[in-house]
């Protein structure tokens, strides 16, 4: 098997070594071999981006729009093939993988339009004879570092705005999912960009970080991943000599879904099932805390357990599968550790939690979603991000306690409330301390054209996606012009 190469300065460059990309639904299946770039190659990628930066920044908006439109259309045309690759390397059921690929296509097409919409402001000065112009310029070379749980959508929502706003890119995907990243890079390589405007380096973040963050030619770093890595990365970005790098961090979550007495039971159960367990719970926006008021608690738990019994755990690419495997053995161990911890903390397992080392003769990382009841918000499993199919139901007396519990977390990415009262919905919408609030909708699942991001320890820096992406991918210039 020939390894898929890195893409540096407009050329495909093999790495000094390569890693196997393993299918979590069947660990005998090697999706492909993917290069692991050396640190020197990552520096080469940064240098190539720096060399291309002036030309890409000066490109006409229509050129950028056409390139992004080309990428979006090809992703869309190859949707089924890319979704199959995504399901195979990450373990997301095919239907969800198709949705993610479609979303990536929409993101590129949205930012094709954004390239043409860049504008500025012209203001009167407070002083006579002057006018003030406010314009946006590209920030410069950007390093984009992504996690494994959305192998194509998260790269898309960083690469598309970066390129649309005239920045040269060095993209480093997560080690576990180089397949979608490489396929995306291959499409971008044919989109008509100048050599070096887009670069792909694959491999370990720890090994390549010194180039992606510390290299003085990198103007900005956009990172999505764990809180621990994000904190380290931000510290390095400001510690380096000379100009500091601008940093955008999207990190963990411990998102609450509040279910109030007056909720529509079917809606609440559907929100919980989707929010907590779809994508095997491996979403930063997953509803891992289900905060339920006493009047509906028992009915809610019974109905949710009934729906959980209908889930089909299996190979992500098999028709009918509704829950795929956990992404790898390390994440599986983490999920199992938290299931054991929840038990030892006194929570009661109402459903699931069984690990299957194989299903229908296929070795894989299979874990039946686990629902705990009689849990409290002080239990560690309800405070720390698990990033797997594990959720705790927290029973509360009333809406006031529900709101207090929902906000009692270090994180603030997404929060949901299920209620049929407009007045209560409005109150929660205002009072939930999260970047995104969902009313009678799952905490996970967002639109491609509106801001995405959180508060507290979930995020740092400006929002991603939509028009708001310009806050990170451009720098503002204020010019005073004497008439």
Give the residue numbers annotated as catalytic, written as ranges.
Answer: 250, 284
* Closest distance to ligand NAD from the beta carbon of 335 (Å): 13
What gap in Å lies between CA 145 and CA 193, rounded to an integer?
A: 21
232 in contact with ligand NAD (CB under 6 A): yes
Judged by CB, which is closer to ligand NAD: 158, or 297?
Answer: 158
* Closest distance to ligand NAD from the beta carbon of 459 (Å): 6
229 in contact with ligand NAD (CB under 6 A): yes
Dihedral of alpha carbons 62, 475, 462, 224, sign: positive
- The binding track of 144-173 with respect to ligand NAD, each residue x by CB under 6 A or -, is -xxxxx----------------------x-
Dihedral of alpha carbons 29, 31, 34, 36, sign: negative
Q: Are 384 and 392 in contact (CB under 8 A)?
A: no
What gap in Å lies between CA 337 and CA 356, rounded to an integer?
A: 15
* Closest distance to ligand NAD from the beta carbon of 90 (Å): 11
> Binding ligand NAD by CB under 6 A: which of 47, 152, 174, 403?
174
Using DSSP, state whether 369 is helix, strand or coil.
coil
209 in contact with ligand NAD (CB under 6 A): yes
250 in contact with ligand NAD (CB under 6 A): yes
Q: Which of 429, 409, 405 is nearest to 417 (CA)?
A: 429
What gap in Å lies between CA 276 and CA 269, rounded to an integer?
A: 10
- Report the phi/psi class of residue 463: left, alpha or beta, with left for phi > 0 and alpha for psi in -120 to 50: beta
Q: Which one of the spans 16-24, 222-230, 270-278, 290-298 is the region binding ligand NAD (CB under 6 A)?
A: 222-230
The CA distances from residue 181 to 65, 249, 481, in Å, are: 21, 20, 45
Judged by CB, which is closer to ligand NAD: 41, or 149?
Answer: 149
- The binding track of 387-406 with respect to ligand NAD, each residue x by CB under 6 A or -, is x-------------------
What gap in Å lies between CA 291 and CA 305, rounded to an integer?
A: 16
* Closest distance to ligand NAD from the beta carbon of 27 (Å): 18
225 in contact with ligand NAD (CB under 6 A): yes
226 in contact with ligand NAD (CB under 6 A): yes
> Binding ligand NAD by CB under 6 A: which of 96, 100, 175, 315?
175
Judged by CB, which is closer to ligand NAD: 235, or 312?
Answer: 235
What gap in Å lies between CA 174 and CA 164, rounded to an integer?
A: 23
Q: Which one of the spans 249-257, 292-300, 439-447, 467-475 is the region binding ligand NAD (CB under 6 A)?
A: 249-257
Beta bridge partners, 145, equal 172, 223
Using DSSP, state whether 428 is helix, strand or coil.
helix
What gap in Å lies between CA 359 and CA 155, rounded to an integer?
A: 31
Phi, psi of 465 (to 5 degrees): 70, 160
Chain contacts with ligand NAD (rule: CB under 6 A): 145-149, 172, 174-175, 204-206, 209, 212, 224-226, 229, 232-233, 250-253, 284, 385, 387, 413, 458
């Amino acid at each position: 098997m020939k390894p898929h190469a890195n893409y540096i300065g407009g050329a495909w460059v093999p790495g000094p070594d390569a890693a196997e990309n393993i299918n979590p639904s069947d660990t005998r299946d090697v999706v492909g071999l993917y290069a692991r770039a050396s640190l020197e190659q990552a520096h080469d990628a940064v240098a190539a981006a720096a060399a291309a930066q002036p030309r890409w920044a000066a490109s006409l908006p229509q050129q950028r729009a056409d390139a992004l439109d080309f990428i979006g259309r090809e992703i869309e045309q190859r949707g089924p093939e890319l979704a199959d690759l995504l399901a195979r390397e990450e373990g997301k059921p095919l239907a969800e993988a198709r949705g993610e690929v479609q979303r990536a296509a929409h993101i590129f097409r949205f930012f094709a339009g954004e390239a043409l919409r860049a504008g500025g402001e012209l203001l009167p000065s407070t002083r006579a004879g002057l006018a003030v112009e406010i314009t946006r310029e590209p920030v410069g070379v950007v390093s984009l570092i992504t996690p494994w749980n959305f192998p194509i959508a998260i790269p898309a929502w960083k690469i598309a705005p970066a390129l649309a706003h005239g920045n040269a890119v060095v993209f480093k995907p997560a080690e576990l999912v180089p397949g979608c990243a490489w396929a995306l890079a291959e499409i971008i390589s044919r989109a008509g960009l100048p050599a070096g405007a887009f670069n792909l380096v694959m491999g370990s973040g720890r090994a390549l970080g010194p180039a992606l963050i510390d290299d003085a030619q990198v103007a900005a770093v956009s990172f999505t991943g764990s809180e621990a890595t994000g904190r380290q990365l931000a510290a390095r970005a400001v510690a380096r000599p000379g100009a500091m790098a601008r940093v955008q961090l999207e990190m963990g979550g411990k998102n609450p879904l509040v279910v109030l007495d007056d909720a529509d039971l079917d809606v609440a159960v559907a929100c919980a099932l989707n929010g907590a367990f779809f994508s095997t719970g491996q979403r930063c926006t997953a509803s891992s805390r289900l905060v339920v008021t006493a009047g509906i608690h028992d009915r809610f738990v019974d109905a949710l357990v009934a729906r959980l019994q209908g889930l089909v755990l299996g190979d992500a690419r098999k028709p009918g599968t509704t829950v795929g495997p956990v992404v790898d053995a390390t994440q599986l161990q983490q999920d199992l550790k938290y299931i054991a911890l929840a038990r030892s903390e006194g929570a009661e397992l109402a459903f699931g939690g069984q690990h299957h080392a194989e299903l229908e003769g296929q070795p894989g990382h299979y874990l039946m979603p686990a629902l705990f009841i009689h849990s409290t918000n002080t239990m560690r499993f309800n405070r720390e991000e698990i990033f797997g199919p594990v959720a705790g139901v927290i029973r509360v007396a009333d809406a006031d306690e529900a709101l207090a519990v929902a906000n009692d977390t270090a994180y603030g990415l997404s929060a949901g409330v299920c209620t049929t009262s407009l007045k209560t919905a409005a109150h929660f919408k205002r009072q939930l301390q999260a970047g995104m609030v969902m009313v009678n909708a799952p905490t996970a699942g967002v639109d491609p054209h509106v801001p995405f991001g959180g508060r507290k320890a979930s995020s740092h820096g400006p929002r991603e996606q939509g028009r708001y992406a310009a806050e990170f991918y451009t720098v503002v210039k204020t010019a005073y012009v004497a008439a």
